[in-house]
Amino acid sequence: MLDKILLALALTLVSAAPVAGQSDTRYDVDPDSGLRMERYRAPVPADIPGGITLNTEQAIALWQQEKLIFIDVFPPKGLGPDPLDGHWLIPDERLSIPGAVWLPEVGRGTLTDEAVDYFKRNLVRLTNDKPDTSIAFYCTSDCWQSWNAAKRAIDWGYSAVHWLPVGTDGWLELGAELVAVQPINFFDDSTQQAAALTEAPESQTVTDITAEPAFPDAARIFLIDQQGVELEIGNVVFSKNGPDKSGISVEVDSDQFVDQFLSMRPFKCLTGASEWFCYLPYPYELKNEVTTKELTELEYQLLFIWKSVASFGIDAWNGVYYQLEWQPDGSLQGKLLQGDLNVLASPPEPNSHPIELDEFIAEDAQSRLYPSLIIRP
């Protein structure tokens, strides 16, 4: 119990302020390009250097006066542009500002040469090659891709760049209309027709799980690194209480863990050349029960915090959550999500699960030391 109290205290202290002598990593950008390179779904700065920051009321007023070209850079799920015809292979509809132009993915920290060309030629087309044309970039709230896109346009010489930090979220909060918008074709810059929006081709979809999943008596837990190499870190014992319900007992331990003392608390860490993965035991009481459709209590016992080797201390902002899904072979695959675990600094309501996965992101999972996890007998 004392250990759990110390963990909550450590998380509180870590979340209170940056360590002296360190910058606030929430706003870190690449020192060479000046762009955000990862964790795009995170709090953004208050302004954009060299540009004009708009609140929603200002943006609506300029939209009503037709004084801005609105450019949506929202990054959709899916397979990206079709390599044959440039149509975007995306499964979900995007609701955006009426009259806006959607240029997906141009706000990433690193762009391919083809993506740079796509972005540049569409800016030329939309502004009639007049760099002083007023343009506005947006996405959703807490979206660094809109900040990056605006920064790129400024760096390329556009002198009337506006940025709407709250994006379509702020637009919707004020009751303004959003409409379905189609992405601009990656090759010919035409407006994509709604019929072209599609799921991944059948040959590329994940095989449906037809068999009813079932818990084994026991299973081993493996982290999987960027090269696909597995590292066993523990085990879970299942005590079945019915056809689809089970108690669980989880042990996370490995001789690969290195004891570290970080931010006033001991951690067990897996140390890589540029990044550490430190295990974060959930500090509050759990029921230790799961069903075949509800695996949260198992997921809560597989929490980590990553830290760069160069950083001092540890920051729960860099939380790692593995979201588990059944696989056709009966194993459980963990998809890495990144987000803020500072919520664990305060005790939750009894029998509740305080981590809000809606605030976690799957982007850049492959850049982490262990992008996935698997549990199998």
Residue 371 maps to a domain: yes
Residues 176 and 254 in one domain: no
Residues 356 and 247 in one domain: yes
Instruction: Report, as an integer, the average pLDDT of 56-74.
Output: 94
From 204, 225, 245, the end of a domain falls on 204
Residues 347 and 263 in one domain: yes
From 204, 226, 246, the end of a domain falls on 204
Residues 73 and 196 in one domain: yes
Average confidence score pLDDT of the chain: 86
From 170, 204, 238, the end of a domain falls on 204
Residues 103 and 46 in one domain: yes
Is the pLDDT reported for residue 89 higher than 90?
no
| Span 25-36, pLDDT tens digits | 556 888 888 999
Is the pLDDT reported for residue 196 higher than 70?
no
Count: domains in the chain: 2
| Span 318-366, pLDDT tens digits | 999 999 999 888 899 999 999 999 999 999 998 899 999 888 888 788 8
CB 200 within 8 A of CB 239: no
Residue 5 maps to a domain: no
Domain that holds residue 57: 24-204
Residues 150 and 241 in one domain: no
Is the pLDDT reported for residue 235 higher than 90?
yes
Residue 11 maps to a domain: no
Is the pLDDT reported for residue 4 higher than 90?
no
- Own/partner long-range contacts of 347-355 (Cβ < 8 Å, ≥24 apart): 347/8, 347/284, 348/284, 350/285, 351/287, 353/296, 353/300, 355/300, 355/321
Residue 3 maps to a domain: no
Residues 263 and 326 in one domain: yes
Cα 97 from Cα 137, distance rounded (Å): 11
- Greater model confidence, 9 or 132: 132
The pTM of the full predicted model, rounded to 2 decimals, is 0.52
Residues 46 and 182 in one domain: yes
Residues 123 and 233 in one domain: no
Q: What is the pLDDT of residue 204?
A: 40
Residues 239 and 175 in one domain: no
Specify the CATH number for the domain of residue 164. Answer: 3.40.250.10
Is the pLDDT reported for residue 267 higher than 60?
yes
Residue 1 maps to a domain: no
